[in-house]
Structure 1
């Protein structure tokens, strides 16, 4: 493993959490405390921890409140997910952490269809008005791939230029844990990428280059927030992950099979995918509560 020392790894994780997820100061402080305590308990080897280490760590939480255990587990899961996404670890040992039963899992934030239409309307207006449309063509390709294919931010920004072909309605990606998966690429997304490539040129390398490397996840997050503000959507409601969630939720609403969705999202465990059934159930409950013909009569009795 190529993991930096715990101090550097924790600092990089918190920086990314602040930039990409807009985490509040109190959240960052709580995460820092939980991660540093875990690092101390493992003698500074948290970043290199194995499942047996995490089991031993969790044993020390036996007397803590369930909500505290849940918070500590969540902090460590996100930390190991970050290390995996950044290529600093080849595995994620966090399955060894406890999942306190009976606690409601937080539903992912999603955008509705109207919000998505607003984003694309702003992009269309920008392209129609711009004399140098290169930046907007790039952003259009990025948004089409996030919402149309459900890519993770890291997968998107690190795409090779040859990954998306105009005559191939899918791409083969290497996601978390080095697992390969096939993802759909819509006609719209392929057209947007083709238009971006016409500006970018045919040179090999990253599809979305930036200097000697590729576009950063932080910069992608900033671009989306600016676009959201212009579309009249509160910027704190959008992120690359929110567009990925919208992809999944809207597919499920349209009748997608849960197993097919699991494959497209690259989830190792279908339990992770099942969170979207809760999103859809919540929407259906609200629909019945507000639209059913007996709803008003029930309130009158």
Structure 2
């Protein structure tokens, strides 16, 4: 083993220093948390052994055998980012090559009809807050982490200024949604601050919303694998693109820097594609 390899150790302290740098770079809190999580997994896998290229290739092989390819690549990206930070660029490992998929997984695609059933189930449960959370995310295309920018003040103006991931963008609230949110705020006797808060007065977070949405699955008759906040954003993107066919504009609305990311959001399932081919009527005999 080379002497320099003995000096290359992945420790919780090093992960902490790297996380601090990521925060200084104004990375999203969820991104920092994900990197820390992935690097901690690598630290546990090494079990105190030195960081070597051979050890990292072994880790990559372990990940490949136990995780989806996309998940493997995000973990490798976390490790490579740390190696750049430390100047250990010779340790960087190549990501897996993933063939571009033409269609999304039908088992994960939330349909408009299922979305409506989720809202109806929330209303039947008397959970007006959850019903409006679901509608607000889906009607605007915002990230669940951006819900905190929906305030009583922005409901009045109809325009939300979102600052996320180092980018600012404006999001407009549909008039029908504004009326619903104004009525909700009146019943809550609130005139300022975030619309969606906990009993303690703090903005709802991802875990609150995820848990409440999962509780609707059985009543709404929707598969649990389809029910999570980010899927509402995907549904917004698909419906918008179906109506407008403007990928660049949609990327701006969603806050994407790259339209290739937006293309993923607009993918339909193979079932939809099969129906479209049937309607073409090109089989004659």
Gaps of 5+ in 1: 11-30, 44-55, 81-95, 127-132
For 1:38 and 1:252, locate their aligned partners in 2 and report how far apart those are by CA, in whole Å: 43
Alignment partner of 2:104: what SS? coil
How far apart are residue 267 of structure 1 and its match? 0.9
Q: Name the CA distance, whole Å, in 2 between partners of 1:205 and 1:78.
A: 35
**CA shift for structure 1 position 200:** 2.1
Counterpart among 30, 33, 36 of residue 41 in structure 2: 36
**Paired residues of 1:150 and 1:247 also in contact (CA < 8 A):** yes
Bigger-Rg structure (1/2): 2
Number of residues paired by the alignment? 234
**What's the TM-score, normalizing by structure 2?**
0.65
Does the 8 Å contact 1:34/1:72 carry over to 2? Answer: no
Q: Return the offset for 1:205.
A: 3.2
- In structure 2, relative to structure 1, the CA distance for the partners of 1:97 and 1:58 (3 Å cut) is farther
Task: Note the aligned Cα RMSD (angstroms).
Answer: 4.2
Distance 1:117 1:208, change over 3 A: closer
* Aligned-partner Cα distance in 1 for 2:179–2:272: 34
1:182 is paired with a residue whose SS is strand
- The answer to whether the 8 A contact 1:159-1:206 is kept is yes
1:164 corresponds, among 137, 146, 154, to 154
Matched residues in 2 for 1:213 and 1:4: separation? 31
**How far 1:60 moved relative to its partner?**
5.2
Alpha-carbon distance between aligned partners in 2 of 1:77 and 1:159, rounded to the nearest angstrom: 30
Q: Aligned pair 1:110/2:86, yes or no? A: no
Matches of 1:250 and 1:115, distance apart in 2: 14
Q: Deviations over 1:224-254 (max 9, x none)?
A: 1222322111223110001111111111122
Residue 117 of structure 1 deviates from its aligned partner by 2.4
User: Is the CA contact 1:184–1:264 (under 8 Å) kept in the aligned structure 2?
Assistant: no
In the alignment, is the contact (CA less than 8 A) between 1:148 and 1:186 conserved in 2? yes
The one of 244, 248, 252 equivalent to 2:241 is 252
> What TM-score comes out, normalization by structure 1 length?
0.62
2:209 and 2:184 map into 1 onto residues whose CA distance is 16
Q: How far did residue 161 of structure 1 move?
A: 2.5
Structure 2, unaligned stretches of length 5 or more?
Answer: 1-11, 20-35, 81-91
**1:273 and 2:265 aligned:** no
